[in-house]
Amino acid sequence: MDIIEAIRGRASTRAFLDTPVSRETIEAVLEAARWAPSGGNTQPWQVAVVAGDLKQQIGDRMTEAFRSGDHGKADYQYYARRFPEPYRTRRFVCGMALYDALGIERADKEGRAAQWEKNYHGFDAPVELYFFVDKTLEQGSWVDCGMFIQNVMLAARGFDLETCPQAALAEYPDTVREALGLSQEKKLICGLALGYPEREAPVNNYRTERAEVEEFTKWFGV
């Protein structure tokens, strides 16, 4: 696949086929992704690949917590507590586009909550990836991990797979660590749903917008 097509054609996918993804295919995705750059070639990313009963159990536990009013405590603050403009509007527009695609009205709190809960089972993708970085490392390693995650998303497309990066899967890090037998030293960055997309699903058929290059770029001496 052409690199520009791989980048432009990626979109967060929130409905998947039941078709399993073979371990060999996941390994091939990670084999490509591991060539991400990192400061001093430290390669700080660590990945847990989760499927089957364990994936279901983790999702059930998160859903149960969410329904009980426990909104979890991620290892770090991903979203700003108050987004100033233009970020606030961008986020609002993105949320509305998702709910519009699903026919969920703005006032339909239950409908929105039901859609949100789908996060916890990775939108029923057959596989979830969880990304960790050691507690001892600093912010630079988290940047490196982000580059690795983007590589995973792009490499997946080379195997007809699609993904959804998910901060929601990092809301209950202790649940994930406990299920995977990991210590508190492993900080959970985010999760990622991975699978073959249900291409016709309405939720997979809207596209988010982007600011034009001139809006975020200043040119100096070019």
Binding site for ligand FMN (CB under 6 A): 11-12, 14, 94, 119, 164-168, 190, 208
Q: How far is the CB of 14 from ligand FMN (least distance, A)?
A: 6
Q: How far is the CB of 192 from ligand FMN (least distance, A)?
A: 9
Q: Residue 57 or 208: which CB sits closer to ligand FMN?
A: 208
23/86 with CB nearer ligand FMN? 86
For residue 222 the two structure tokens come to 């070019």
Q: Minimum CB separation from ligand FMN for residue 45, in Å?
A: 14
186 bridge partner residues: 134
The residue sitting closest to ligand FMN, measured at its beta carbon, is 168
For 12, residues 6+ apart whose C-beta sits below 8 A from its C-beta are 163, 164, 165, 208
Helix (H, G, I), strand (E, B) or coil at 96: helix
CA angle 109, 114, 120 (to 5 degrees): 135
List the one residue out of 155, 160, 172, 185 whose CA is nearest residue 17.
160
Pick 21 or 153: Cβ nearer ligand FMN? 153
Question: In this complex, which beta carbon is closest to ligand FMN, that of residue 8 or of residue 82?
Answer: 8
